Amino acid sequence: MDNHSPRDVAEGVTPSEDATRSWHPGDGESPRGAAGAADSGGFTPRAAIARHAARPGAAGVRSAIRSRLGELPVVYLLLLGLSISWRVLIGREDWMLLEVDLALIASLVAFMAVLWSRWPLSSTWLKGIELGMVGMIAARNVFVQFHMMLGYSLLRDRMMAQLTMKNVVLLDAVLILTYGLYVPKGWRRAAAIVFPLALIPFATLLVLVLRYPEPMGWLWLGWSGSTTPRLYLFAFDATVLLILAVGATLGALMVGRLRREVDEARQLGQYRLEGKIGSGGMGEVYLAEHALLKRPCAVKLIRPREAADPDALERFEHEVRITATLSHPNTVEIYDYGRTEDGLYYYVMEYLPGLNLAELVRRHGPLPPARAAHLLRQVCGAVQEAHEAGLIHRDIKPSNIVASRRGGVCDVAKLLDFGLVRSSPSHRAGAAGGAARVFGTPLFMSPEQAVGAPELDPRSDIYSLGAVAYFLLTGRPPFQGDRGLTVMLAHAREPVTPPSQLVAGLPTDLERVVLRCMAKDREDRYRDADSLERALAACACADGWDHRVAALWWAEVDRRDAGASSPLRPPPRPPASPDRTGPPPAPPSAAAGPSPDRPAVRRPAVPGASSFRRNRGPDG
């Protein structure tokens, strides 16, 4: 949601359409921790949009454990590499020990492949992998200590035997520290692992002394000029390992306590906050889960500094109240609203798996005409309900409309962000006085909004719907410019370039509908959203896209995304949104329109199930 005063516009406010991006599985495992950039005002739960509504809770915990465990084999491989290098350097390479190390390296690589793959792993499997890796390294240390200390003792090389013991203690210390750092666990479980690890070198030494008393007799001899047995010198090593074991246990205890405190802090009434997934001009958006219903939802929190501003708080509450009065299935649903004991205002809305239309076009290029008409017809229903209630949205734009998956149905359009809604003239006693202010997003606002007209009616939203349709069909807004004022003046004065001049093959009847929506004189536009919906339904392409075709499209996108990344490499992050600052660059593929070196893209007038194959952007 954008709030542009005339002064702001004159100073060159950039007409960025949206600054918050959506998440989908191709971007990573989860939206958690990947907050969008700050929006330019108001709230749009678009950052809570994901093509898969991954359930938070146990799955999230397993994901975090798996990620941490995936780093552990790398550390162990480095240790083994250093150990092999040390033996080669001193010229004492043992081929039996080398075979053990190579077998261990192969096992660690296998564990790493499993942890870095997309294969689902239960908590039991993760615990087994954790204990397997730690157990193998501990067993290898026992073998090294037993084999090399005995060998050097039989050769009467007391210095190398003692150095072997010191190196094993050092490796054991690293093992204890890495376990404490990389493996999430409770303090009891940590103690059950690290204390035996600390005792292993000395238990092995005891077995050597009892089993081979004569070769190991040097332990009872002192250094030259000293009667202190060499065995006593290992007491310091034992103390160090004991301190590390105690530290690892206490660390696990403190981490567990901090985790509980964080969990309590993330509990908002009946909702558990799972992670920040977006930002708006007034607050942050979090992915959350209802404590009892276990239902994912999106929670909007108003920032403390905004809550201290009476105007901002009024806008926040106004948005909640307005949205809650609307019940159309294509309007985002509000679940709850409240205020915490420490004065934090929040409201809860439905979680929408899908993509907002701005992101959809950015990822996959302009939409087939039939799909654009299919989505816009649904939005018309939501807009009509608001108009009948005497409300004007004033900020209809692609990022405020979501193509979601709801109840097993694909491409269900949802209209969001009612923070700029105001009553129509027929529902107001009079217009507010004071200096005119321009509210909305310059790229998609009506001419009367652009000039700060005091009286807006539903036909202002009709113009914005036409601008959205233009964007969906061409991949670019109707007008572009370096400054917000430039774009706003273009809306008010300049004729619209017919979309067929940018993308060849567009149905003429659909183009007529779009251009009528964007007439400069509101009297020439459709009088209401119902009339626009009927006009879209009368287009020849209206029956070319339905929920069945949408399901095929989403299924193909899912298959492509599933194979886009190597199973051993995390999926790449998407590029930054092209409309963060400045005028939006020409979208990919056909979105750029005709140029001397790029012919116009031709598309079928009535796309069917295969039309989306010809209209994908570079992602396709």
Q: Count CB neighbours of 402 within 10 A.
A: 31
Q: What is the pTM of this model?
A: 0.55
Predicted confidence (pLDDT) per residue in 313-350, tens digit: 777 777 778 878 888 999 988 888 877 776 778 888 88
Would you list which residues are annotated within the binding site for ATP? 300
Q: Which residue did the predictor score with more confidence, 266 or 584?
A: 266
Exposed, middle or buried: residue 117 (CB in 10 Å: 0-12, 13-18, 19+)?
Answer: middle
Q: Which residue did the predictor score with more confidence, 196 or 585?
A: 196
| Active-site annotation, residues | 395
With cut-offs at 50, 70 and 90, classify the pLDDT of residue 280.
Answer: low
Predicted confidence (pLDDT) per residue in 354-380, tens digit: 899 999 999 999 999 999 999 999 999
With cut-offs at 50, 70 and 90, classify the pLDDT of residue 66.
Answer: confident
Q: Report the C-alpha gap between 551 and 308 in whole angstroms.
A: 46
Q: Which residue did the predictor score with more confidence, 160 or 474?
A: 474
Would you list which residues are annotated within the binding site? 300
Encoded tokens for 80: 């083994």
Type of residue numbered 393: H
What pLDDT does residue 358 have? Answer: 93
Long-range contact pairs involving 82-89 (C-beta distance under 8 Å, separation at least 24): 83/144, 83/167, 83/171, 86/167
What pLDDT does residue 525 have? Answer: 94
What pLDDT does residue 548 have? Answer: 93
With cut-offs at 50, 70 and 90, classify the pLDDT of residue 425.
Answer: low
Predicted confidence (pLDDT) per residue in 30-40, tens digit: 333 333 333 33
Q: Which residue did the predictor score with more confidence, 264 or 199?
A: 199
Average pLDDT (445-452) is: 89
Predicted confidence (pLDDT) per residue in 106-134, tens digit: 999 999 899 888 888 888 888 888 889 98
User: Quick check: helix, strand or coil at residue 476?
Assistant: coil
Per the CB < 8 A criterion, the answer to whether 187 and 252 are in contact is yes
Average pLDDT (455-474) is: 93
With cut-offs at 50, 70 and 90, classify the pLDDT of residue 413.
Answer: very high
Q: Is the pLDDT of residue 243 over 80?
A: yes
For 355-428+435-592, give the CATH class.
Answer: mainly alpha
Show me where the domains of the chain are located: 58-220, 355-428+435-592
Tokens 């709030």 appear where? Answer: 3
What pLDDT does residue 52 have? Answer: 36
Q: Is the pLDDT of residue 17 over 60?
A: no
Give which of 479, 455, 485 is closest to 7, Cα–Cα. Answer: 485
Alpha helices in 438-483 (DSSP H): 447-450, 458-474
Q: Report the C-alpha gap between 320 and 501 in whole angstroms.
A: 41
Long-range contact pairs involving 103-110 (C-beta distance under 8 Å, separation at least 24): 104/80, 104/136, 104/137, 104/140, 105/77, 105/80, 107/136, 108/73, 108/76, 108/77, 108/80, 108/133, 108/136, 109/73, 109/77
What pLDDT does residue 598 have? Answer: 34
With cut-offs at 50, 70 and 90, classify the pLDDT of residue 247.
Answer: confident
Of the ranges 3-7, 193-197, 475-479, which is most confident?
A: 475-479
